[in-house]
């Protein structure tokens, strides 16, 4: 197939793409004189009008501090904040809203569990199981608590395609295992992990499980009860919501047993200089004035996603991934990193002999935004023997025409480098 004969197929029938795209004002602009093609959704997604207007509406009409005053605006702000918690809880299948702690994002959620839940239980010689395809946010917090206590990390290996090698998974568990933490979907490879099966194994050994859902929640239905995990972490900004807000879901029995992570206003029941009594979860973990507008925006993002359906969004994105992967094979020198199935709509690749930063810079001049670098997953780069990759990651508003623009941009990169 030549570069001038792209394979044309109908766009996903399930979605009214034109309507979806109309919801995202930022998409309708030119970058370097070309219509923007935004394919950096794994880093952060764009925001629909519903979210932008929820933020604006909150600040225009309801802004006040939460849980603190009896006046009308304070009541409205509190209601809006707690309504967002309810929406998030329902969205992921939590049993009750109080199992949802609002945090800054996935990173803070994992740190909260590492320090509040695991740290007090950890002794020298204990073990934490991670996988070889984790984002740094699901490595470093565990490393920090392990360093403090003399515990150690054990890592599930990754094969050539980017799947976990699970043959010996169960043998990693022993009497010293204190935690299993794993991604739901790899941000670098797109691999969807068999989280339910792996959680079953951990539970057989009485080991609590945290799942990093940063790359999952916007692209498939997530049901924390069905997975059977103990904690589930995700970020609002990767699911069409605002930055600075995310959620940690945890089993109430765990949350109740956890010490606060930070002290301050809102997280106490009673304070004296002799000692303080902590509020029950989730307030116990939400010290200080929270990101109220962010939570309201996240609630709006949840409603937006629910109206489309995360599974419908995921199906459309996987369709784009298959198309993009096929067309990428036309590009001389291109190697896809991460070919394991099942796979979410993340296409990481290297162009032989060309640095990923050059790929990203040239694509940008064509109006195409991709992520380049180690993707905060250096162990994955080491596993595949590359210093960096370029990554196109798809969202519900992307189109086949945009994939064609990416492919044309990659031909341009090769041309610039005389290939």
Least distance from ligand PLP to the Cβ atom of residue 198, Å: 16
What are the residues whose beta carbons fall under 8 Å from the beta carbon of 274, sequence distance 6 or more? none
- Selected catalytic residue, list 320, 376, 392, 407: 376
Catalytic residue flag (residue 376): yes
Q: Quick check: 183 binds ligand PLP (CB under 6 A)?
A: yes
Q: Does 191 bind ligand PLP (CB under 6 A)?
A: no
Q: Of the two residues 183 and 287, which places its CB atom closer to ligand PLP in the complex?
A: 183
Name the segment binding ligand PLP (CB under 6 A); options: 83-91, 100-108, 327-335, 347-355.
Answer: 100-108
Site residues for ligand PLP, window 106-125 (CB under 6 A)?
106-107
Query: How many residues does the structure list for the chain?
Result: 419
Q: Which is nearer to ligand PLP, 17 or 144 (CB)?
A: 144
| Positions in 353-372 near ligand PLP (CB under 6 A) | none
The secondary structure element, H or E, covering residue 278 is: strand 275-278
Of 14-22, 133-141, 166-174, 315-323, which part binds ligand PLP (CB under 6 A)?
Answer: 133-141
Q: Would you count residue 135 as binding ligand PLP (CB under 6 A)? A: yes
Q: What is the biggest distance separating any 2 CA atoms in the chain, rounded to whole angstroms?
A: 76
> Minimal distance in Å, beta carbon 377 to ligand PLP?
8
Only segment of 210-218, 222-230, 366-374, 388-396 that touches ligand PLP (CB under 6 A): 210-218
- Return the closest-CA partner of residue 303 out of 42, 81, 48, 95: 48
Q: Is 318 or 400 the residue whose CB approaches ligand PLP more closely?
A: 318
Spatial distance between the Cα atoms of 82 and 84, rounded to a whole number of angstroms: 5
Examine residue 395 and tell whether it contacts ligand PLP (CB under 6 A).
no
Q: Which residues pair with 154 in a beta bridge?
A: 129
**CA-wise closest residue to 220 among 400, 116, 49, 346:** 346
| 215 makes contact with ligand PLP (CB under 6 A) | yes
| 212: contact with ligand PLP by CB under 6 A | yes
Which residue is it, tokens 């519900």? 396
DSSP-derived secondary structure for 143-207: HHHHHHHT-EEEEE-B-TTS-B--TTTGGG--TTEEEEEEESB-TTT-BBP-HHHHHHHHHHTT-
Question: With respect to ligand PLP, which residue has the nearer C-beta, 212 or 366?
Answer: 212
Of 215 and 414, CB closest to ligand PLP = 215
β-sheet bridge partners, residue 351: 334, 354
Q: Does 380 bind ligand PLP (CB under 6 A)?
A: no
Q: Which of residues 217-236 bind ligand PLP (CB under 6 A)?
A: 235
Q: Give which of 176, 126, 129, 172 is closest to 151, Cα–Cα.
A: 126
Tell me the closest approach of the beta carbon of residue 106 to ligand PLP, in angstroms. 4
Q: Is 225 exposed, middle or buried (0-12, 13-18, 19+ CB in 10 A)?
A: exposed
CB count in 10 Å sphere of residue 160: 10
Region from 99-107, 157-165, 194-202, 272-280 binding ligand PLP, contact rule CB under 6 A? 99-107
- CA torsion sign for 108, 109, 112, 118 is negative
Number of residues that bind ligand PLP (CB under 6 A): 13
Binding residues (CB under 6 A) for ligand PLP: these are 105-107, 135, 137-138, 183, 187, 212, 214-215, 235, 376
Which residues form the catalytic set?
376
């Amino acid at each position: 197939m030549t570069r001038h004969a792209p394979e044309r197929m109908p766009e996903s029938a399930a979605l009214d793409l034109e309507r979806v795209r109309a919801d995202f004002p930022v998409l309708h602009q030119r970058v370097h004189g070309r219509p923007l093609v935004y394919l950096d959704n794994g880093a952060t997604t764009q925001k629909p009008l519903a979210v932008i207007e929820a933020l604006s509406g909150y600040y225009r009409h309801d802004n006040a501090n939460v849980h603190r005053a009896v006046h009308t605006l304070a009541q409205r702000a509190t209601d809006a904040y707690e309504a967002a918690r309810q929406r998030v809880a329902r969205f992921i299948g939590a049993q009750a809203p109080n199992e949802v702690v609002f945090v800054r994002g996935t990173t803070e959620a994992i740190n909260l569990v590492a320090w509040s839940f695991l740290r007090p239980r950890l002794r020298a010689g204990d073990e934490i199981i991670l996988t070889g395809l984790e984002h740094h946010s699901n490595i470093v917090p565990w490393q920090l608590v392990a360093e403090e206590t003399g515990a150690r990390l054990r890592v599930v290996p990754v094969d050539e395609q980017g799947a976990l090698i699970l043959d010996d998974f169960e043998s990693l568990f022993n009497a010293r295992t204190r935690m299993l933490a794993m991604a739901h979907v790899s941000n670098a490879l797109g691999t969807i992990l068999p989280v339910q099966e792996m959680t079953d194994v951990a539970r057989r050994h009485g080991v609590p499980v945290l799942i990093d859902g940063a790359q999952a929640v916007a692209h498939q239905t997530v049901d924390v009860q069905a997975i059977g995990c103990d904690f589930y972490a995700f970020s609002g900004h990767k699911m069409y919501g605002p930055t600075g807000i995310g959620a940690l879901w945890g089993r109430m029995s765990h949350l109740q047993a956890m010490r606060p992570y930070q002290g301050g206003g809102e997280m106490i029941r009673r304070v004296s200089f002799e000692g303080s009594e902590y509020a029950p979860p989730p307030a116990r973990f939400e010290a200080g004035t929270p990101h109220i507008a962010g939570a309201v925006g996240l609630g709006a993002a949840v409603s937006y996603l629910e109206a489309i359906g995360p599974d419908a969004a995921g199906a459309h994105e996987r369709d784009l991934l298959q198309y993009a992967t096929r067309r990428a094979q036309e590009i001389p020198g291109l190697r896809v990193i991460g070919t394991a199935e099942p796979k979410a709509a993340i296409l990481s690749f290297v162009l032989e002999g060309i640095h990923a930063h050059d790929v990203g810079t040239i694509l940008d001049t064509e109006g195409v935004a991709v992520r380049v670098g180690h993707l905060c997953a250096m162990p994955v780069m080491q596993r595949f023997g590359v210093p960096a990759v370029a990554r196109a990651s798809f969202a519900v508003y992307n189109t086949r025409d945009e994939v064609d623009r990416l492919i044309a941009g990659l031909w341009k990169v090769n041309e610039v480098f005389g290939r």
